[in-house]
């Protein structure tokens, strides 16, 4: 007999997995405080046999929230100093879904052979390598056509000129179109029955139900569950940050 405590319910609420009704299997028992916790929130308790519970859990586990990334740059600390001044440190403006990552107050201008993009957000903290992530549509504006790559894989990618409010720099490589990916914790990975490097097949549940057939899974203790796509992909599928996509297969095979 397993006991479900109030603090367990609070954790589920924070993770967004607290369902209404709340299903309790016949080998689980709620503490009185846990009962009160659910009653105070108008959540009904439903007893179910184990088979049905597993189906319920499975259903919840098969959705992933979407995070849409606009064009942005990651800078090395050397490049931060060139663009913004000696000893300069980026100023956090808004925290991002992945712990420790932030959108900085600082923005730059990206200049390519055909045109420029202004007010491009810098993301922090500073990294080892400078990387510039744009969409294919942005590429037409600046006249640069980068490959689709996972973050960090910048060998052989095109360069660009980055202008800050103190100086500018031309990098010889580092421009990519980010390959879509899912961040998840080892715990999520267990639920989804995947490991780092696997690929999920996910589908938008919008009026443009686009299927993304090769979504790379990235597992890390510090990651929270998030499906990262760029603006072009979001617009093609009518998706926005916070929407859910459905997992419909993995590693090239649709679920039966
Ligand atoms: Zn990401």
Q: How far is the CA of 15 from the centre of ligand 1 (A)?
A: 19
Please state, in angstroms and as integers, the Cα–Cα distance from residue 47 to each residue in 20, 51, 86, following that order. Answer: 12, 12, 63
Position of tokens 């202008």? 163
Q: How far is the CA of 137 from the centre of ligand 1 (A)?
A: 19
Q: How far is the CA of 232 from the centre of ligand 1 (A)?
A: 15
- The residues facing 253 across adjacent strands are 250
Q: How far is the CA of 69 from the centre of ligand 1 (A)?
A: 8
User: What angle do the packed helices 6-15 and 32-40 form, to 10 degrees?
Assistant: 40
Question: Strand (E) positions, the chain?
Answer: 2-4, 22-25, 28-30, 45-48, 63-69, 72-76, 92-95, 102-111, 116-127, 131-133, 148-149, 160-163, 168-171, 175-178, 181-184, 199-204, 211-219, 226-230, 244-250, 253-254
Going from N- to C-terminal start, the domains of the chain cover 2-48, 70-178, 180-254
What pLDDT shows up at residue 250? 96
CA 68-69-73 angle, to 5 degrees, is: 175
CA 215 – CA 202 distance, rounded (Å): 7
**Ion ligand 1 — residues with CB < 5 Å:** 228
Mean pLDDT by 10 residues, the chain (256 residues): 84 82 79 87 76 52 90 98 97 91 97 98 96 98 98 97 98 98 96 96 97 97 95 98 96 93
Side-chain-facing half-sphere of 71: CA atoms under 13 Å = 20
Q: How far is the CA of 217 from the centre of ligand 1 (A)?
A: 10
Q: How far is the CA of 77 from the centre of ligand 1 (A)?
A: 20
What pLDDT shows up at residue 105? 98
Q: How far is the CA of 164 from the centre of ligand 1 (A)?
A: 24
Q: How far is the CA of 152 from the centre of ligand 1 (A)?
A: 11
| DSSP secondary structure string for all residues of 126-184 | EESS-EEE--HHHHHHHT--PPEE-TT--TT---EEEE-SS-EEEESS-EEEEPPEEEE
- The fold adopted by the segment(s) 180-254 is Barwin-like endoglucanases (2.40.40)
Residue 185 near residue 221 (C-beta atoms within 8 A): yes
Q: How far is the CA of 182 from the centre of ligand 1 (A)?
A: 7
Using DSSP's 3-state secondary structure scheme, residue 79 falls into helix
Sequence-ordered alpha helix ranges (H) in 70-145:
77-84, 136-142
What pLDDT shows up at residue 184? 96
Please state, in angstroms and as integers, the Cα–Cα distance from residue 233 to each residue in 37, 67, 152, 238, following that order. Answer: 40, 11, 20, 8
What pLDDT shows up at residue 56? 52
């Amino acid at each position: 007999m397993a006991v479900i405590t109030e603090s367990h319910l609070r954790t589920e609420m924070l993770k967004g997995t607290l369902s209404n009704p709340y299903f309790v299997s016949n080998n689980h028992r709620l503490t009185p405080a846990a009962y009160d916790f659910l009653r105070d929130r108008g959540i009904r308790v439903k007893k179910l046999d184990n088979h049905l519970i597993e189906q319920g859990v499975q259903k919840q586990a098969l959705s992933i929230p979407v995070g849409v990334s606009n064009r942005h740059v990651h800078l090395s600390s050397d490049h931060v100093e060139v663009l913004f001044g000696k000893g300069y440190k980026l100023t956090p403006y808004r925290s991002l879904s992945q712990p420790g990552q932030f959108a900085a107050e600082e923005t730059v201008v990206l200049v390519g052979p055909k045109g420029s993009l202004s007010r491009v957000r810098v993301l922090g903290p500073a990294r080892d390598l400078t990387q510039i992530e744009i969409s294919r549509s942005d590429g037409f504006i600046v006249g640069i056509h980068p490959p689709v790559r996972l973050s960090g894989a910048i060998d052989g990618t095109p360069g660009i000129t980055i202008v800050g409010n103190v100086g500018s720099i031309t990098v010889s490589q580092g421009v990519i179109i980010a390959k879509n990916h899912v961040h998840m914790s080892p715990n999520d990975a267990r639920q989804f029955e995947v490991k780092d490097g696997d690929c999920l097949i996910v589908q938008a549940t919008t009026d443009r139900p686009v299927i993304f057939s090769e979504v790379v899974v990235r597992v890390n203790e510090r990651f929270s569950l998030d499906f990262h796509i760029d603006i072009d992909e979001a617009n093609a599928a009518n998706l926005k940050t916070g929407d859910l996509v459905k997992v419909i297969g993995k590693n090239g095979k649709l679920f039966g």
